[in-house]
Structure 1
Amino acid sequence: MDITKITNQPITVYPTYTDVLKNLRAEEVGATLAWTALSGVVGFAQGFPFRKDVALCGAAFSLLMGGSIISSRTYQRLGGYRENSRELKKNGIPERRLVEIVRKRTLVNPARQEFDYRI
């Protein structure tokens, strides 16, 4: 992600997976569980002669993809790339708090105009 494109106030610039799990929104988790249940039911209804296998495969795929989407959205909210007013209130951060953002060192050396592969 490009740090220069932050539009909202970030909670943390580099959120950990624990931060992401603590800040999941209930409606996103509910929608993922509903899609998982629905895909399992549709897979069971349409999966003749392998009803259980198709239902389990559809539900597992739906849960995996839904989980990755909501964790990505939460990561973006914590970083300030999406609207995050509820997360700011939840974490006790006042609006428009000054946040120091440290920019990453680029891989291009401006003096030599060539790539610097050292990290």
Structure 2
Amino acid sequence: MIRIKRAYDEAAPEDGFRVLVERLWPRGVTKERAALDLWLKDVSPSTELRKWFHSHPDKWDEFRERYWRELADKKEDIDFLKKKAEEGTVTFIYSAREREHNAATELKAYIEQQARGQ
């Protein structure tokens, strides 16, 4: 199972394996508070895509398509995350203010689609 949680929310035992899926460390969050098991920068959107989306937040669908194309090149990391989710709960930690439209939600959707074999 994959869950999503903001870096600013308290860590909890039910989070399971906590993975920061951001390229940049969340502002104001200490390593202790983050309580991470892994920081996997490579599954986050590229710097170019992240900056583009910051300038075009109204283009969510295009961001999503571009990000999924980038994820297609991250097979090893995606397979690792799929395997961890099969073993138990994995929580993707993100720092964006937007709770619905962010890279962590799309990473979760992408992995779940891959797991279904689509």
TM-score clears 0.5: no
TM-score, normalization by structure 1: 0.23
Task: Specify which structure has the higher proportion of helix.
Answer: 1
Larger radius of gyration: 1
TM-score, normalisation: structure 2: 0.23
Instruction: Specify which structure has the bigger relative contact order, considering alpha-carbon pairs within 8 angstroms and separated by 6 or more residues.
Output: 2
